[in-house]
Amino acid sequence: MADSLSPNAQIILAALNAAGPRPTPPTRVRVNPASFPNGGHEAAQDQYNAQYQADLVAFEAASGAWDQSVKSNARDIKVMLSERSGIMTQLTQLDKIVDPNNDGGKVFPGTIVRVTREERSKRGIVVIYTGTDRATAGLGPGEEQVRTDRTDNEDGRALARRAQQLIGHKVLLYIELEQMQGGNKVRVVRHFEDRGLDHEYNASTGTVAKAA
């Protein structure tokens, strides 16, 4: 059925699902006078009525909040599905990286050994041990480096924080070759796939044992 709906109708269904069940209205209780042979059913009914009114106020507030949640979810989903959204941009970047016919990216394994910040570019610098035999100034044996996006935006900060959390872990890096001003290309990491702790990583030296 969902396949036959318009795109906007499918978005509304997704928004409803994300919002959860709609609040249900309260039920008014009617007192049976026969249950009060000694009288007092009027007072009991008054208590039930007061509780019903309080429940009704709470229901109306919850119903309004639920309605706004559905609308907010729908707007968020609509924006996410647009070609200009941040998440769509990230997925397009990953598409290029994993496409075997595209030379604009690569996927390779390594162990994150340290993470710093490059002040000039505001990017995170992620140093990884890959066992490479290519020497790079400022790096130890077997080490390479990649950059995150700029850390003065939330996506860049989030990925840099993720890299810090994964120090000492084996990871699979998804790298995009980003064109810079002047024609140079730099390796920018778009995603880390955690492969677990590298037991040869030495936290006190920030190196992998094989590199020594």
Do 170 and 130 lie in one domain? The reply is yes
- Tens-digit pLDDT profile for residues 164-197: 999 999 999 999 988 877 778 889 999 999 999 9
CA 173 to chain centre: 18
pLDDT grade, residue 101 (50/70/90)?
A: confident
The share of the chain scoring above pLDDT 70, in percent, equals 97
Flag whether 149 is in a domain.
yes
Do 121 and 32 lie in one domain? The reply is no
Do 65 and 111 lie in one domain? The reply is no
Do 34 and 139 lie in one domain? The reply is no
Flag whether 40 is in a domain.
yes
Do 127 and 201 lie in one domain? The reply is yes
> 206: number of CA atoms within 13 Å, CB side?
11
Question: d(Cα 187, Cα 190) in Å, to the nearest integer?
Answer: 10
pLDDT grade, residue 212 (50/70/90)?
A: very low
CATH number of the domain that residue 187 is part of: 2.40.50
Question: d(Cα 206, Cα 81) in Å, to the nearest integer?
Answer: 41
Do 133 and 161 lie in one domain? The reply is yes
Exposed e or buried b per residue across 159-176, where buried means at least 16 C-beta atoms within 10 angstroms of its C-beta: bbebbeebbbbbbebbbb
**Domain housing 14:** 2-81
Flag whether 87 is in a domain.
no
**Residue of 110, 188, 120 whose CA lies nearest to 149:** 188
Do 58 and 109 lie in one domain? The reply is no
What 3-state class would DSSP assign to 68?
A: helix
The answer to whether 175 and 104 are in contact (CB under 8 A) is: no
pTM of the predicted protein model: 0.70
